[in-house]
Structure 1
């Protein structure tokens, strides 16, 4: 090991069912990179998929990869080129790097860039290493200094909350509207909190399990329904439905529960390939099916809203584990009936 290299404790997926907490080498940061001591990391569905299946959708694990993209920490070494925040600054991380493959997409929506890479993603090979490690080097452009008074723990959900914020933005103006959220896992619960801040008059959360529905109520839902109560879901007639389950049955519930002329925002990522869908009902009711993928700069709005108290995400965090107990943390996070967002503490 060279004098410019240090070690860090990291959470590494080696293959399906093979998750390890191990030491990794951390090189000296490049001139455009900042070195960060990670404080907290939130376990995402994609992290769980790499551990459980060795793949997340069509992104297949071909080599050991450090997981994690929902992270906050403190700058220990500022970027040598003068960009980015100074040492000692508490930061959240925007984990995307837009890329250009020549495919067309709106310039103002870089989240749709087909060459985009994401921390902790096996979409490309070599894989894009994640940041579930005690020390990481990241491009300074990824960093967002936390507003004064906002703690690292309170900012730990900034990245997934930005996904929810983007989805609510895709719904249009929800002020005074009746909104239904299908799936009350972490993204669904975060969407509930964002909808509450955005002024939705009614927020009906739907899930298979009681515990996520309790979290949704604490986050701001005005009512809950069980996912198997098709009649009650169909009677909601929501102006907007946020589909956050990532399941074709959830999409069917969204279509049934939307009012005629309503909008369904699909943020839950369904498996690749063809999926059954109630297309005839979508046509005859003139529903709008709208996709929502990751986010752009919404993380900045999330941090501002967290700092000024207008966005409260405290109900969504249900468990916290030391990084050395990562395997236990992943087991808990996998059980959606008994957990919301699970944090790793570094």
Structure 2
């Protein structure tokens, strides 16, 4: 089978690999679509994603969808050709009591397409993958596998909105309209936000924000409407966070969605104290991917997040488009 391996900085290779074995409690999936994530880009550009450092080649990708190819002898409820997506995380051992309900923070967690462990965890940019049956999420009637490739990043966005608390009836700000920021807009609307203001320096990103449900799209957060009480910083730019903290109303909630640099950054934190701002982090998701699948089936707004579709053999061009094309948003690989 074909698979996309990362061998070093800007060194992607489509290679032949054996089809992974199928265990009794596992499922083989013929992958049809794979979405390129910021972590995939980070490995490609620097060989590092967050604190995970690549030390040997591995298969990238954790946003995937496709169809069941085969099921293990002990698997029930799934059948061949059934359309599915995949929860990329697996945990080992019990979750500490203080983290109850927060499996995304499990101390022993592996993720598809990650170099956080050694040996690294191969990902989903391959024609066939094998995963545990409890990682497989069937698609509801009417949801095709192409749109379902957005389930994982939409799960991330829905978890971020959940971290904000109650947003129903609120005026929400989303700063940074890359794929995750756009999906935060979709998730905030689904959670009942009354008004959504999007912020991005790039005109194409602002246009996409309006297409997925933002009421207005601005170039900056300075001088924002005082009615904004919930903000999502989705760009990972310290200047964006600085503008939000200085401009947002008192007693507001700010959720950090974008990955900030691992090195010290310059942000004025005084407003967190003087305004009693709740500043919260958010990391991946727990079970929100199942809710994401349901939302994708019910609403096609998220389709606007996909900007490019290229074949697996065009992976280098796809990764380049993700970082260099000013019109790019979510770039998707056609695998199956």
**Which category describes the TM-score, using the shorter chain as reference length?**
over 0.9
2:304 is the counterpart of 1:304 = no
How big is the shift at 1:245? Answer: 0.7
Residue equivalent to 1:289: 279
- In structure 1, the residue matched to 2:7 is 14
- Is 1:100–1:116's contact at 8 Å kept on the other side of the alignment? no
Are 1:169 and 2:159 counterparts? Answer: no
Q: Which structure 2 residue ranges, 5 or more long, are not aligned? A: none
Q: Does 2:171 align with 1:181?
A: no
The Cα of 1:40 is off from its aligned counterpart by 0.5
Paired with 1:109 and 1:126, the residues of 2 have a C-alpha distance of 25
Distance 2:181 2:66 in 1: 25
* Distance in 2 of aligned mates of 1:274 and 1:98: 31
Secondary structure of 1:252's aligned partner: helix
**CA drift at 1:84:** 5.5
Residue 311 of structure 2 corresponds to which residue in structure 1? 322
Rounded to whole Å, the distance in 2 between the matches of 1:132 and 1:54 is 17
Gaps of 5+ in 1: 1-7
Q: Residue in 2 aligned with 1:209?
A: 202
Deviations 1:162-194 (A, max 9, x none): 000000111112122111101000000000111
Q: Does 1:125 align with 2:118?
A: yes
Q: Distance in 1 between matches of 2:128 and 2:95?
A: 35
Matching of residues 91-102 of structure 1 within 5 Å: 91-100=84-93
Q: TM-score, normalised by structure 1?
A: 0.92
Which of 253, 263, 277 matches 1:263? 253
- 1:100 Cα deviation after fit: 4.4
CA deviation after TM superposition for structure 1 residue 232, in Å: 3.2
Q: Residue 92 of structure 2 contacts residue 109 of structure 2 at CA under 8 Å; is this kept in 1?
A: yes
Measure, in 1, the Cα distance between the counterparts of 2:178 and 2:263: 23
Inter-partner Cα distance in structure 2 for 1:215 and 1:84: 38
Q: 1:213: how far off?
A: 0.8
Shift of 1:55: 0.9
Figure out how many residues of one structure are paired with residues of the other and give that number. 335
Task: State the distance in 1 between where 2:76 and 2:233 align.
Answer: 39
Matched, 1:232 2:231: no
2:240 paired residue number: 250
State the partner residue of 1:80: 73
- Give the deviation of 1:278 after TM superposition: 2.0
Q: Would you say 1:61 and 2:21 are equivalent positions?
A: no
Q: Does 1:108 align with 2:93?
A: no
Residue 153 of structure 1 aligns to a residue whose secondary structure is: helix
The Cα shift of 1:17 comes to: 1.5
